[in-house]
Every structure is written in C-alpha cells, then in structure tokens.
Structure 1
Amino acid sequence: MPPTKTTPKPLRLALLLYPGCMPAGLFAVADMVRAANLRAPRLVCELVWAGVDTAPVATWQGPTLVPSISLDRAQADAVLVPGLWLATASDLDAPLQQLEPVTRALRNLPSSTRIWSYCAGVLPLAASGRLQGVPATATWWLREALQARFKQVQWRFDESVVDGGKVLTAAGAHGHVPLMSHALAERLRPEEWRDVQQLLMLPRPHRMHPTLGGPELMSLTDEMLRRALLIVQRSPAAELRLPQLAEQLHVSSRTLARRVAAQTGMAAAQWMRRIKLRQVADALCESRQPLKRIAEELGFASEAGLIRAFRQATGMTPIAYRMAHA
C-alpha cells in the first residue's frame, strides 16, 4: 500500500511589533496569510502578534497596537521583523540604541527559529548577530553603512530576496511582498499560489540578473538623481546622452557624472544604460511582447542593437533571459 502524503504542519508566524515600526507591511502580510489559508483550504500559516513584551506599541505614524504575546513565549516557527523609518544612513548609533530591546529579543530566540525581515528592519536583525556569515539583503541606500558596520554578513544588495536558510531578507519598503511571496509559494501548491496572486493582484517577482540590479526610484536619496532616473526611463535609449540629460537637470555634465558616481559607483553612461536594460528585463519577464516591440517602445535603434547591449551586460540573449527568469 503506497504511503499516505501527510499535510505539512502549519507555520506559526509571529509578527513582531516594536516602537517606531512601520505597520502597513504587517497588515499586508496578514491579508496574504488569510488569503492563503482560505484558498488551501487548510491552515497554512498561523499568525500571532508579538512584542518584546505585551505593552502597547506606538507604531510609526500609525495606530498603537497591543501584542497578544511576548516574543519569548510565542513559540513561533518564524518571526517577521518589519521595517522602520530611518531619516539618514550616516548615523546608525541612535536607532540601534533605541532598538536594543528588539535586538536582544532576536538574539535570545532559539537557533531553530527562522527570522524574516525586510527594508530597514534588517538593521536589528544584523545587530543581533543572527546574520553573521549568512547571505542577506536590505534597503539599497543603507548599503555602505551596513557593509561598514556588519562586515561578517554576506551582503547581496543587488538581489531583492535572499534566502539564507534560517533567515530570509528582502529589500525595499515593500519588501514584505516578495518576501512573503517566496515563503508562501513554498507552502502552497502551484495552482493555490497562482490563485492567491490573482486574488490579491500581487506582482510576479522575478530574479534579477546581478548586473541589472541597482537603485530604484525610492532608494535614491539624491533628489537630482531621482529626477534623472525618471528622465532616463522616459527617454528613448538611442537618444540618451549625458550632456542632454545634464541640461534638463540644469547642471553641468561634470557635476552630474560626479553625483552619479558618488551615489551608484558607476559611470554616468553605464548607469543610464543599466536603467534602460533593466526596463528591457522587466518587459521580458512581465509581458509576452515580442522583442522587436520592446525595442521600439524603449527607443533602441534596432532589435539587433538591443540584443547586443543586453548580451554584453548579462552574457545572455534577451530570449534566453526571458526563458530563465520569467
């Protein structure tokens, strides 16, 4: 008689509340879990709202929430650490001091407990020591500060989601979406997860080639470069020139090149080219448009030129990239 396939044990997930945390992501995660449980239909994930203790927690520009249990008593299989608002990356001492109770609580969790975090919520996780020797990602604009302070972490800032085994991290203020998409997709059947995606209108994440990763609009702290990125995205690829871009921003080419290099570590021409190729990659993975149409819409001089530039950057043809990443 063939063995009976057992139903996986429900995951007990603690949503961690701490002073100053941004609660929107936690509410969104609760919605995703509720949809997954309804679609299964079985208990895929059990949620508990936890805190360092059970005292009311004042969230960032949101409601004061009351944890139902303290983290040390939650008996959670996994803990989700939400992001927090940071005004600057130049001084992490003050927020780390305020986050010390959270850091200590994470450090004291059993080694078997999985910890998930996104955006700047990775900061207390790194401070707890749970990321030592582990691959992880975080918000792009914290890159230099985190690399300097937590040298033993295997930082992968060009990846939106990094699974380090016992830790799962995601980049960006909305990192809870790809993070939970990764986690739930592992616990649901393909058709169940597809229905949850359609119900919640979730974006289809795809693994970005490392050479195409880099600054998104929300991660650029330089206002001039935020405007520059939008101009580049909206301009035909064949017409992009540094002097013209600088003119639209009312600065010299030299000033713009210095700002790009300081913020991204890239030459201005390379940065502009990467932005356009990132748009190509997104179009390849998020649509079924033929390559010729993508080339026309993004303003490349020819389909052949797009293929040549894409292959130089990634080592892959656009069609091979679509097959691998879509």
Structure 2
Amino acid sequence: MRRAHRVVVLALDGVYPFELGIPSRVFGAAGDHYEVLTCSVDGGPVRTNADFSVTVERGPEALTTADTVVLPPIDSSLVTRDLPEPVREALASIPRSARIVSICTGAFVLAAAGLLEGRPATTHWALAGLFREWYPQVALDPDVLFVDDGQVLTSAGAASGVDVCLHLVRADHGSEVANRVARVCVVPPWREGGQAQYIERPVPETTANGTAATRQWALEHLHEPITLQDLAGHARMSLRTFARRFHDEVGVSPGRWLIQQRVAQARHLLEATDLPVDDIAGQVGFGTGTSLRQHLHAAIGVSPLAYRRTFRGAPAPVG
C-alpha cells in the first residue's frame, strides 16, 4: 500500500496560530492523500505571536521524512536577516527531493537560508520593500497571491496560505479533489487577482459602480466573444473608467482575467468530461483548439491532452 504524501510543518517561535493550522486543515480535508505532521527546531513547545504557546511533540528529525515542508509565518518583529543556527540546521536537513512552501514572512526564512537564490518569490506586500533591500537576488513579485517555482513555493499573507495549499492539492490530485477540499473548508477553490486587491490605497469614489455584476455576466457568457467594450457597456462605464475600476477591484486587467477564467473552465472540462479539445475551446471562448493549447501551455506549461491524462478524475459512479 502506497503511503500518504507526508507534509511536515515547521513551527518557529513567534508563529501565527492561524497560519500554523492551515496545512493541517487543508491537506487534512483531502482524506488519506496526505499525512500532516508538525515539528519544532528542538521538539519543545513553541510560543506564538498570540498570548499562548503550542505543544509540539516532534523535533527537526521529522523534516528528514518530509515530501513537502511548510513554513508558516512568524511575527514580523522577529524577522532577522541571519537565521539562528538551530533553524538553519533544521532547514538543511530537508531532503533535496522535498517541496518547500512558505507563507507570508516564511519567505524571509527561506531567503535567509539561501533557498530562494535566483528564484521568483512573493511575501506580504507590506514587507516587500524590506525583502528587496535584504534579498535583492530574489525576483520578488509582491502583486501575486503565491508563486509556484516548482520545488519551492511562496505565498503572501494569511489566507494566501490556503490558496497555495489548495493549489498543491489541485496539482497533486486534480480539480475534483481540490474542489471537494475547498467545499469542506468553506473557501473558494481559487481566488481572483492578486495582492493588489489588498494593498492600502484610497477608497474609490462611491459614485462609481462596481464590476462584480459584470464579472458574473462574463462568467455566464465565456463561450461568446467578449471585448473590453462589451464589459464596459454592461457595466455602463467608459472604457477607461471600467479598466481602472476593474483593476482596482480584481488586481489584473479585464483581458487577463478573462483568459484566467477561460483556462480555469477549460481545465475543469478536461477533467470532468470526454469532450474533444476543439469542443472545449468553443465552450470556454477560445474558439479553436489551437488557441486553447496556446493559452493552457502559457498558463501551466502542458498541452490539453497531457493535462487530461494527468488530472482526469475518476468516473462518476453509476446509479
């Protein structure tokens, strides 16, 4: 019998309790696909950034058995440019084959350990300036919710930890399992846009209409050609006002958002149906199978047929 994929969570002093629990909650909701263990650098209790400590029964030896390691964030006041030696030794014990995931300020720890050298990464937008100052060799993108660079993944603040864990479930087991996990956890399977939605900025004029209704309309008409003029017309705004308002609310341009939604729907149909690629392309608004192949490859680096072979869910039971 194949053992479950082992996720080991490394709790450091000053850890945020909410984020500490994310891996267990998300991966645990995937049933027997994952085993989640929590450890500390010495096997002892860990103080959180709240008014309590947590008891951790495992030491750093648990890291040597990990398939995936998750590093939750620590209080920003405890972030240092140089790692304490026990933390550095613990990180050095992670197998080279293991995936490593950080949440929020966890990226500072990975960068200090040299694990982000020359890689793209993200962290909480409010700490982007400090991160760039300390680690200019890291290609920081503070506008996204998470960055998947293959073996190393970094995510932004708080709930972005849920996003990246769901992303890994989807990558490992497909949309069917990931969507089921999202329903159990009562969270969206994916969130639109990036951190730009959450960066502090002046509140938009109250006289401007929102774009939520237009986004919903677009999702219901993905199979049709949709232009920026169509979207602005539905929202009853000028092109310039709509584009600005849309980006303020979603964090990406209308055109990029439409492509993201079409790719997401195409992935669902590749997993859940036997429809030919050309038919799927028509249903999601790409028009031709060639266009779908180009957009899917740009988004996730594989062809529709390769994606279907990898992530096709089990057939639904009859009766």
Query: Do they fold alike, i.e. is TM over 0.5?
Result: yes
Q: Which runs of 5+ in 1 are unaligned?
A: 1-6, 38-42, 238-278
Q: Which letter maps to 1:22? A: Y
* Helix, strand or coil at the partner of 2:38: strand
Structure 2 residue aligned with 1:306: 242
Q: Are 1:60 and 2:49 an aligned pair?
A: yes
Taking structure 1 as reference, are residues 107 and 234 closer, same or farther at Cα in structure 2, changes over 3 Å only? Answer: farther
Matched with 1:240 is none
Q: Please say if 1:78 is aligned against 2:68.
A: yes
Equivalent residue, structure 1, for 2:171: 186
Letter in 1 for 2:110: L
- Is 1:49 matched with 2:45? no
Q: Distance in 2 between matches of 1:11 and 1:286?
A: 40
How many residues end up aligned between the 2 structures? Answer: 254
What are the within-5 Å matches in structure 2 for residues 139-158 of structure 1? 139-158=124-143
Correspondence for 2:116: 131
Q: Which moved more, 1:129-138 or 1:301-310?
A: 301-310
Give the Å deviation of 1:301.
2.5
Correspondence list, 1:1-326, <5 A: 9-37=3-31, 43-74=32-63, 75-86=65-76, 95-96=80-81, 101-206=86-191, 208=193, 213=194, 215-217=196-198, 219-220=199-200, 225=201, 228=202, 231-232=203-204, 234-236=206-208, 280=211, 284=215, 288=219, 300-302=236-238, 306=242, 314=253, 316=255, 319-320=258-259, 322-324=261-263
Whether contact under 8 Å (2:243, 2:254) holds in the other structure is no
What's the secondary structure of 1:49's corresponding residue? strand
Name the amino acid aligned to 1:23: P
Q: Distance in 1 between matches of 2:42 and 2:73?
A: 19
CA distance 1:303–1:325, change in 2 (3 Å) = farther
SS of equivalent to 1:306: helix
Do the aligned partners of 2:104 and 2:155 also contact (CA within 8 Å) in 1?
A: yes
Change (3 A) 1:305 1:61: closer
Pairwise CA distance, 1:235 = 4.2
In 2 relative to 1, CA 199–283 (structure 1 residues): closer, same or farther, beyond 3 Å?
A: farther
What code does the residue aligned with 1:306 have? F
Q: When the two structures are superposed, what TM-score results if normalisation uses the length of structure 2?
A: 0.66
Whether the 8 Å CA contact 1:14–1:50 is kept in 2: the answer is yes
Q: Is the 8 A contact 1:159 1:207 kept in 2?
A: no
Verify the 8 A CA contact 1:107 1:130 in the aligned structure 2.
no
The answer to whether the Cα contact below 8 Å between 1:119 and 1:170 also exists between their aligned partners in 2 is: yes
SS at match of 1:47: strand
Q: CA contact under 8 A between 1:84 and 1:120: conserved in structure 2?
A: yes
**How much has 1:321 moved relative to structure 2?**
5.6
Measured on the aligned residues, the alpha-carbon RMSD in Å equals: 3.7
In 2, Cα distance between the equivalents of 1:127 and 1:286?
46
